[in-house]
Amino acid sequence: MTDPHMTDTGHKGSGKHSRLLHHLGVAVGLSGLILWFWAGRSLGFLDWMTALFPAQHAGAGLMVGIMLMMLPALLLYRQYNRWLESRLRITGRYYEDDFYRDDTSRNNDSDS
């Protein structure tokens, strides 16, 4: 006998409940990104990176510093978001899945 509270995704709760949990989880992840940036700025990473560049290129140094500082945070956020979606059993397609897909039809056309 099936549970009347089961949804079509196979877990208890309504679709709206799962959507709300996903939105809350994404909000937590984005808050983590903001905290990461704040921590890096407070620790002086951006000042240090700007000091490595000549004064006339301080803006470029700041941009490089932000990119280097936020790269690990964005990679962690991507993994966190995928973990959250798997935990809530949310399915979908990722851009990378289509981009790195093995296109056999393209390979067969080049052989002829």
pLDDT digits (tens, 9 = 90+) for 50-94: 999 999 999 999 999 999 999 999 999 999 998 998 898 887 776
- Give the span between the Cα atoms of 93 and 80, in whole angstroms: 16
The model carries a pTM of 0.66
pLDDT digits (tens, 9 = 90+) for 80-91: 998 998 898 887
Neighbours of 75 (CB within 10 A): 10
Could you report how far apart the first and last alpha carbons of the chain are, in Å? 55
Which amino acid type is present at position 73?
A
Q: What's the confidence (pLDDT) of residue 91? A: 77
Neighbours of 64 (CB within 10 A): 16
Contact 33, 46 (CB under 8 A): no
